[in-house]
Amino acid sequence: MDTNLREILSALTAWLCDPASGNWLPPGLRDWVCAHQAWLVPVAVILLMTVFALVPWWWRRRSSAAEVGPASRPRGDTNTATQIEVVTGDIPGAPTIHTGAGDIRQGTRYETRGDTYHIGGDVHIGVLPEQYAADLKEREREVRAEEREVRQALHQAHAEERVKLEQRLQDLETEKAEIARRLADTEASYQNYIAGLKQRIAELEAIRGQVPNALLDEAREALAQGDQSQADRLFAQIREQGTAVIQAVAEAAYQRSQIARDEIRYRQAYEHGRRAVRLAPENSRYLTGAGELAQILGDYQAARDYYEQALARDLATYGEAHPAVARDRNNLGGVWYTLGEYEQAIACFEQALAIFERKLGSEHPHTRAAALNAGGPRAGQPSHHDD
């Protein structure tokens, strides 16, 4: 290839140096090329060989990045300057959940001591890291198989059906990116999963007495052991048996939403989440969950509405200086940023950061996420929004 390139470039320089060839070079530049062609040709050969060697490497990097995707950035956000952190999981300082006389298997209890928040107690979880990773890989195989089926169906679909199939492909791309993100740091994503699971198990105590205790305990145990399918079936039974008790039905819908989210079935999770909100629109936990799923699926207007309602509820319940209010402001800021409302986003992030620093300290994960958000948008804000 080196010899061929040298021959081609030598012929090209000869043509450029020929005044009768009709080439476009100005006379002065033509004279310079002719005077230096002895070293121009070897240098050009080296540069082109380097480019040919780098292109496959660059393409592999590009394909790998496209496969993993920017998981922390919601679908549809084309601004690559800043990735917005959504605050999820435990919010210290939430109302105490009484779970029985000293039985630490009954859930996580939140305690407050002055301005410092502590999480006491424990929940015995039977999900091992190996099982968690295996479940992720199995879900990845399912998503890829469904993606192939949808793409095949697209070739024969009518216009109306194509819209639904293309929407499903977008959902699958979002789910693939999230699976890749979790698999990239399995230990961290496993710890987040376990923390969320403990919190949800504790929160189930709010409906004890409204549904049969045996059924509720069985659902809690299924969650703790990672049997998502069994837990989902049991919450479906709670929904059927608790029709007359709205709170129990709403909680069952919320739990089914979180199960589907854990399994990275976002569209199904969103449907359950919206049902929980319809049944209990005053519950900020359900509103936040629905908002997060709307944001994941790219429905930013709906996400903003859910987050604003959650903020209003938490302000009425806790007042301004509470971590739950900071979470709401942070998450609302993320949606404002995606929608291009940078000043509103920065205001939300800075308010959230001030509360988190005061209540949780500067090293808490929520505080660090809010600090990243508060600094990122201002640095990456497009100039036409500066005024």
The residue type of 5 is: L
Does 287 reside within a domain?
yes
CA atoms of 292 and 63, how far apart (whole Å): 28
Number of domains present in the structure of the chain:
2
Give the 3-state secondary structure of residue 328: helix
Q: What is the pLDDT of residues 277-298, one digit of tens each?
A: 999 999 999 999 999 999 999 9
Question: Higher pLDDT residue, 200 or 41?
Answer: 200
For residue 133, give the CATH number of its domain.
Answer: 1.25.40.10
Q: Are residues 58 and 122 in the same domain?
A: no
pLDDT level of residue 23 (50, 70, 90 thresholds): low
For residues 117 and 110, the answer to whether their CB atoms sit within 8 Å is yes
Q: Are residues 57 and 156 in the same domain?
A: no
Measured in whole angstroms, the distance separating CA 219 from the mean position of its chain's CA atoms is 27
CA atoms of 214 and 203, how far apart (whole Å): 17
Could you tell me which residues come within 8 angstroms of residue 345 by beta carbon, excluding any fewer than 6 positions away? Answer: 333, 334, 336, 337, 377
Q: What is the pLDDT of residues 51-90, one digit of tens each?
A: 666 655 554 444 333 333 333 333 433 333 345 666 665 5
End-of-domain residue from the set 68, 86, 113: 68
Q: Are residues 20 and 132 in the same domain?
A: no
What is the chain's mean pLDDT, rounded? 76
Q: Are residues 63 and 108 in the same domain?
A: no
Does 109 reside within a domain?
yes
Provide the token pair at 47: 């540069």
Does 73 reside within a domain?
no
Q: Are residues 209 and 158 in the same domain?
A: yes
Is the pLDDT assigned to residue 30 strictly greater than 90?
no
Mean pLDDT, rounded, for 20-30: 66
Does 79 reside within a domain?
no
Question: Higher pLDDT residue, 108 or 342?
Answer: 342
Q: Are residues 117 and 48 in the same domain?
A: no
Residue 53: per-residue pLDDT = 63
Is the pLDDT assigned to residue 122 strictly greater than 90?
no
Residue 80: per-residue pLDDT = 33
What is the domain range of residue 30?
2-68
Does 47 reside within a domain?
yes
Q: What is the pLDDT of residues 136-162, one digit of tens each?
A: 999 999 999 999 999 999 888 888 888
Residue 207: per-residue pLDDT = 81
> Which among 249, 277, 262, 191 is positioned nearest to 222, based on CA atoms?
262
